[in-house]
C-alpha cells in the first residue's frame, strides 16, 4: 500500500486538521468530528445536515457552505458517524427553523441518524429526515436494505440547500429534497478496487481485463463482473439501467453528473460524458445542467458513476442559485 498518510489510525484526524487549515469558511470541530459554516446558520433558516463514512470526499464536508449544507459529520473511513456526533452538529446549526437530515441509504447511517433524530426531538429540535436511495444497480447489498444512496446526494444537497437559503420552511425543504431523490437515478462501474488505509490491500480482486458492473461506493459487489469494454458500451449499460427505472421522454430536461470514483483521469470522464450526451440527444432529452469530476468518490477506486435527474423548472432554478462551498461554487 502506498498512501500519503502518517498512520492508518490517524487519517481522519489529520484530514480534518487539513480541512480546517485549507478553508477559512469552515469551522472544524476536530474533537467531535463536525464541520460547520464559520458564519453559522442564519436565524430562521432551515439547516441541512448530512454525513457518512469518510473516503468519499468531497462528500460531505466539501459541500458545507452557502447554498448547500450547514453541517457535515464525517465518520471513520467507510464507517457511519455516531448519533452523539450528529446531535452535536444539529444543535450547533439549528437556527430555530429546524434541521433536515440528508441520509444515504446504508444501514449504519440510517440507524444512527434515526437515533440522532430521536435525541434531537428530546432536546426540542424539529428534524425531518430525507433518505437518498438512487442507485439502480442492485436492490439490496452488503451495506443496505434497499437501494444504495450515491450521486443523487449531491443533487439533493444543492437543490434543497438553495431552497433553504431562500427561507422556505422545514416541510418545504424536506419535500423538495425528497422530490429530487425521487427524480434521480445512478449507476457505477469500477475498473479497480479501492484500498482502505486500515486493511492495506484492495477490497476485492479484479484482473486488469475485468470491470465490476454496478459497483457500490464502498466496493460492494454489483450486478456482475465482466470483461472490460469500450466507454460507449459501458455508458449504454449504465443508461439502460437508469432509464429503465426512470424513463425520460422527448423534451425532458435533465441534470447529469459523470462522477469519478477517485482514481479516474478527468479526460476519461469527459469521454464518458460525451457518450452520455449522445445517447440522451438521440432521445431528444436536453442536458440542462451538468457536472463532470470527482464528487462522490471511493478512495482510490478507478471507475465512474453516472447520475441523471429528471429536472423540472423549480429544480433548475434552485440548481442555478448561488453556492459557495469548497467543492461546488458558482454565482456567489
Active site (catalytic) residues: 56, 218
Q: How many CA atoms lie within 13 A of 233 on its CB side?
A: 7
Q: Is beta strand 184-190 parallel, antiparallel or unpaired with respect to 303-311? A: antiparallel
Cis amide leading into 291 (omega within 30): no
Q: How many CA atoms lie within 13 A of 200 on its CB side?
A: 3
Q: Is beta strand 71-77 parallel, antiparallel or unpaired with respect to 99-104? A: unpaired
Amino acid at each position: 500500500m502506498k498512501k500519503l498518510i502518517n498512520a492508518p489510525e490517524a487519517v481522519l484526524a489529520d484530514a480534518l486538521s487539513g480541512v480546517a487549515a485549507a478553508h477559512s469558511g469552515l469551522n472544524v470541530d476536530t474533537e467531535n468530528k463536525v464541520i460547520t459554516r464559520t458564519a453559522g446558520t442564519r436565524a430562521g433558516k432551515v439547516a441541512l445536515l448530512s454525513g457518512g463514512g469518510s473516503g468519499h470526499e468531497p462528500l460531505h464536508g466539501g459541500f458545507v457552505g452557502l447554498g448547500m449544507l450547514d453541517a457535515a459529520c464525517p465518520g471513520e473511513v467507510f464507517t457511519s458517524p455516531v448519533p452523539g456526533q450528529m446531535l452535536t452538529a444539529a444543535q450547533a446549526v439549528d437556527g430555530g427553523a429546524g434541521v433536515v437530515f440528508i441520509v444515504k441509504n446504508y444501514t449504519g447511517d440510517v440507524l444512527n441518524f434515526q437515533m440522532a433524530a430521536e435525541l434531537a426531538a428530546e432536546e426540542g429540535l424539529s428534524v425531518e429526515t430525507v433518505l437518498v436511495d438512487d442507485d439502480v444497480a442492485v436492490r439490496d447489498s452488503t451495506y443496505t436494505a434497499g437501494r444504495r444512496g450515491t450521486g443523487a446526494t449531491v443533487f439533493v444537497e444543492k437543490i434543497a440547500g438553495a431552497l433553504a437559503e431562500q427561507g422556505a420552511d422545514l416541510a418545504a425543504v424536506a419535500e423538495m429534497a425528497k422530490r429530487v431523490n425521487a427524480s434521480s437515478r445512478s449507476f457505477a462501474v469500477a475498473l479497480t478496487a479501492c484500498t482502505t488505509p486500515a486493511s492495506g490491500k484492495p477490497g476485492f480482486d479484479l484482473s486488469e481485463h475485468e470491470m465490476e458492473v454496478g459497483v457500490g461506493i464502498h466496493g460492494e459487489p454489483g450486478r456482475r463482473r465482466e470483461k472490460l469494454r469500450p466507454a460507449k458500451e459501458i455508458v449504454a449499460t449504465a443508461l439502460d439501467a437508469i432509464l429503465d427505472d426512470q424513463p425520460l421522454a422527448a423534451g425532458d430536461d435533465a441534470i447529469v453528473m459523470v462522477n469519478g470514483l477517485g482514481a479516474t483521469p478527468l479526460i476519461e470522464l469527459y469521454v464518458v460524458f460525451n457518450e452520455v450526451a449522445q445517447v440522451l440527444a438521440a432521445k431528444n432529452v436536453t442536458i440542462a445542467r451538468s457536472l463532470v469530476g470527482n464528487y462522490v468518490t471511493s478512495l482510490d477506486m478507478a471507475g465512474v458513476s453516472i447520475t441523471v435527474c429528471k429536472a423540472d423548472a423549480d429544480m433548475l432554478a434552485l440548481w442555478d442559485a448561488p453556492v459557495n462551498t469548497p467543492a461546488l461554487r458558482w454565482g456567489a
